Amino acid sequence: MNKLKSKKASERIGQILLWLFLLFALAIFSVPYLFMISNSFEKFSFSLPFPPRIFPKQIIFDAYQYILGLDIFTVAFRNSVINTVLTVAIELLVATLSAYGFARIKFPGREMLFNIYLLTLMVPGFLNIIPQFITLGAIKLPFPGLSEGLVGTRPGLILIYVATGICGYTFFLRNFFRGLPEALSESVIMDGGTHMTIFTRIMLPLSKPAIGTMTILALQGIWEEYFTAKVLLGANESMITLPMLLQRLNGEHATRWEWVFAASILIQIPVIILFILFQRKTVIGGLSEGSVKQ
């Protein structure tokens, strides 16, 4: 009896020590975050405060008010939301379809085509921006605003985003689809169903974790994308995105670091909320399942 008690007591002490150690480690890990947050509450004084602070001395929302009051912040926020949502919606449609094709339909040239997809993942992507730029310029559509080619337009940017994501997401989802039991689809075929029925009735509902993971990763990736947007939209002021705005703030107001940090935090908040809301169901579950199975 006594032994059991002392064992429990020592376990509790162990747990507390573990907690304290992890808390200490996490505190060190969070220094960049604390630094960013505390400095976003600073008052303008031409240079960073000395000694450097990781806890705010006072909490002033001036920087946040300034950033939120900028007309261009509203424009950039709206653009980023539209670009991200449209891109991910189209990407989901195209990538799930093609992943199903590669996972479950036998067609000639399948392995070769899939290997080509894999190969493209190894080539540094952003050199492609030059030929992509030229190709977009050559696509002239009979719609208002698109008759001069797609450079500097939203449809152009979204096309490039969707296209460059396909190979990776097809690879990821194909692995998941392949892991699902085939018996279910066979029974659908016996009942005279088509691949489209299997896809919509069985594969999509069963792949919610994988699709959820992909959605979160894609949302985050497009939300923070800077380089492609800068090159393709560069001159078009009305199309500016949040990462472009952040870089501009940093370039124009290198001394107004409290604006830069406040803007950074405002841009990061939606991603953190999204992650915390869905972490249990998708990100942690899907990511780890996908990796451990391989």
Partner 1 sequence: MSHDNKRRKWKKYRKGILAALPFVTPGLLLVCIFVLYPMLFTFRIAFSDYQIVKREITWIGLDNFINVLTAKNNSFWYAFRNNFLYAFITTPCIIFLGMFFAYLINNLNKGKTIFKIGFYLPVITSWVIVGLVFQYLFNSSNRGLINYVIVDVLHLSKNYIPWLLREWSGNTAIWIMGIWKNTGWAMLIYTAALQGISKDLYEAASLDGATSWQRFIGIVIPMVKPTTYFVLVNMVIGSFNVFIQVMLLTAGKPNGTTSVLQYLLYDKAFKQFKFGEASAIGLMTAITIIIVTVILNRGLKLDTVDKEETV
Query: Between residue 59 and residue 98, which ones bind partner 1 under the rule CB under 8 A?
Result: 93-95, 97-98
CB atoms closer than 10 angstroms to residue 223: 22
Region near partner 1 per CB under 8 A, out of 56-64, 69-77, 117-125, 173-181: 117-125
In the bound state with partner 1, the residue whose beta carbon lies nearer, of 85 and 93, is: 93
User: Is residue 24 a contact residue for partner 1 (CB under 8 A)?
Assistant: no
DSSP per residue over 206-222, as a string?
A: HTHHHHHHHHHHHHHHH
Indicate the residue among 98 and 215 with the shorter CB distance to partner 1. Answer: 98
Binders in 154-193 for partner 1, by CB under 8 A: 159-160, 162-164, 166-167, 170
Separation of alpha carbons 276 and 140, rounded Å:
42
Within residues 198-227, the interface with partner 1 by CB under 8 A covers 199, 220, 223-224, 226
Name every residue whose Cβ is closer than 8 Å to that of residue 257 and which is 6 or more positions away in sequence. Answer: 39, 42, 48
Applying CB under 8 A, the span of 76-84, 178-186, 233-241, 260-268 interacting with partner 1 comes to 260-268
Q: Which two three-digit tokens encode residue 135?
A: 């190709």
> Are the CB atoms for 53 and 38 separated by under 8 Å?
yes
d(CA 282, CA 294): 18
Which of 66, 75, 89, 135 forms a contact with partner 1 (CB under 8 A)?
135
Binding partner 1 (rule: CB under 8 A), the pick from 58, 71, 107, 143 is: 107
Residues 240-259 that bind partner 1 (CB under 8 A): 243, 246-247, 250, 257
- Using CB under 8 A as the binding criterion, the count of chain residues that bind partner 1 stands at 89
Which CB atom, from 112 or from 144, has the smaller least distance to partner 1?
112
Answer positive or negative: Cα dihedral of 161, 271, 79, 39: negative
**Cβ neighbours of residue 40 under 8 Å, at least 6 residues apart?**
63, 64, 258, 261, 262, 264, 265
Which one of 47, 71, 143, 181 is in contact with partner 1 (CB under 8 A)? Answer: 47
